[in-house]
Amino acid sequence: MATTKLTAWGNSYGIRIPKALLKALDWQPNTELILSLDHDQLIIQQLAKVSTVNQPLDDQLINRYFPIPDQLTGVALIDGNPYAYNIKNPWQITTPQYAKIIAVNQGTVYAVVIEPPADITQALNFKL
């Protein structure tokens, strides 16, 4: 366990991650990270390590859909597997709406807003 302080950096805030933790995680400068909240805890994950599924499972997600969550980007369990997600065309959102998965790349699901499907019982299990 390590401690650090939240400091002001311009108009934002930042933290320093101790070298021992960076070494243990094997994070290098410019490593892409995903930030998410779990109740009152900040979770930081390396983007490339989010997904543990293989390509055939990724391919099965294409053209499937899920209800749009409040956050348009983040990390979620989709059918029980961890994925980063990014929903495009947010200006088209009206309630209720769904997102259709158009691509899966390195553990990130890319989706676009669609009209509610006829059979919403077939939606993917999506859990933040």
Residues in the chain where the model's pLDDT stays below 50: 49-53
Residue 68: other Cβ atoms inside 10 A: 20
The pLDDT, as a whole number, for residue 6 is 92
pTM: 0.51
**Exposure of 66 by Cβ count < 10 A (0-12 exposed, 13-18 middle, 19+ buried)?**
buried
Cβ-proximal residues to 55 (8 Å cutoff; 6+ apart), any chain: none
The pLDDT, as a whole number, for residue 90 is 58
Q: Give 80-92 pLDDT, tens digit per residue.
A: 788 888 887 655 5
The pLDDT, as a whole number, for residue 52 is 46
Full 3-state SS string of 19-88: HHHHHHHCCCCCCCEEEEEECCEEEEEEHHHCCCCCHHHHHHHCCCEEECCCCCEEEEEECCEEEEEEEE
